[in-house]
Amino acid sequence: MQRPPKVPDEDARLKALHAMRLLDTPAEKRFDWLVEYAARELRMPMSLISLVDGHRQWFKARVGLDVSETACDVAFCAHAIASDEIFIVEDATRDPRFADNPLVTGEPRIRFYAGAPLKSPDGHRIGTICVLDTQPRRLEPQELAILDALRAVFNADVRMKRGRLGSGQEQAAGG
């Protein structure tokens, strides 16, 4: 199993993530809707909004997974934030980066992963919106476009709420 690559601006990325005040907060309908839509439209059993902290990935929203976080060492999303591109693993059992990953060899038996990196208002990659399956698969261009559009919705939402995140005002605004 390969450890995720180090992000060159890791200190600034973590500072931006923490400034957003999303980690360890209650579920929010606006984020739950994004993962529910992704799972339904892409016919995936699992979908997440994952925020990649220093040593863990924490799930702000999730469908099909009971845990709320995993260690970064085993996180597919920690690999995905190394680039702005959608990160795809079509068959984790055949990918040397993940073949012996405990999330592949044990529960939830991940075989497919596609994650679109999410950004803080100042442009740091802070996590992903991702879909996962227990079967190997591929995404068609129109399916990748759906994942990309959901990423854009998240990014626009956090830019719009930049000054209000974590202050409680987003709840008053229907967030």
pLDDT of residue 167: 41
Strand, helix or coil for residue 56: strand
Q: Per the structure block, which two tokens stand in for 45?
A: 């059993």
pLDDT of residue 162: 59
For the chain, the straight-line distance linking the first and the last C-alpha, in angstroms and rounded, comes to 38
Q: Per the structure block, which two tokens stand in for 139?
A: 């995404």
Task: Indicate the pTM of the whole model.
Answer: 0.90
Indicate whether 171 belongs to any domain.
no
Tens-level pLDDT at each residue, the chain (175 residues): 778 878 888 999 999 999 999 999 999 999 999 999 999 999 999 999 999 999 999 999 999 999 999 999 999 999 999 999 999 999 999 999 999 999 999 999 999 999 999 999 999 999 999 999 999 999 999 999 999 999 999 999 998 875 444 444 333 334 4
Indicate whether 126 belongs to any domain.
yes
pLDDT of residue 7: 82
Distance CA 22, CA 124 (A): 14
pLDDT of residue 6: 80
Containing domain of residue 134, as a range? 10-164
DSSP H or E stretch at residue 149: helix 141-160
How many domains, the chain? 1
**Neighbouring C-alpha atoms within 13 Å toward the C-beta of 156:** 8
Q: CA 34, 26, 45: angle at the middle one, nearest 5?
A: 40
The CATH number of the domain holding residue 76 is: 3.30.450.40
Indicate whether 107 belongs to any domain.
yes
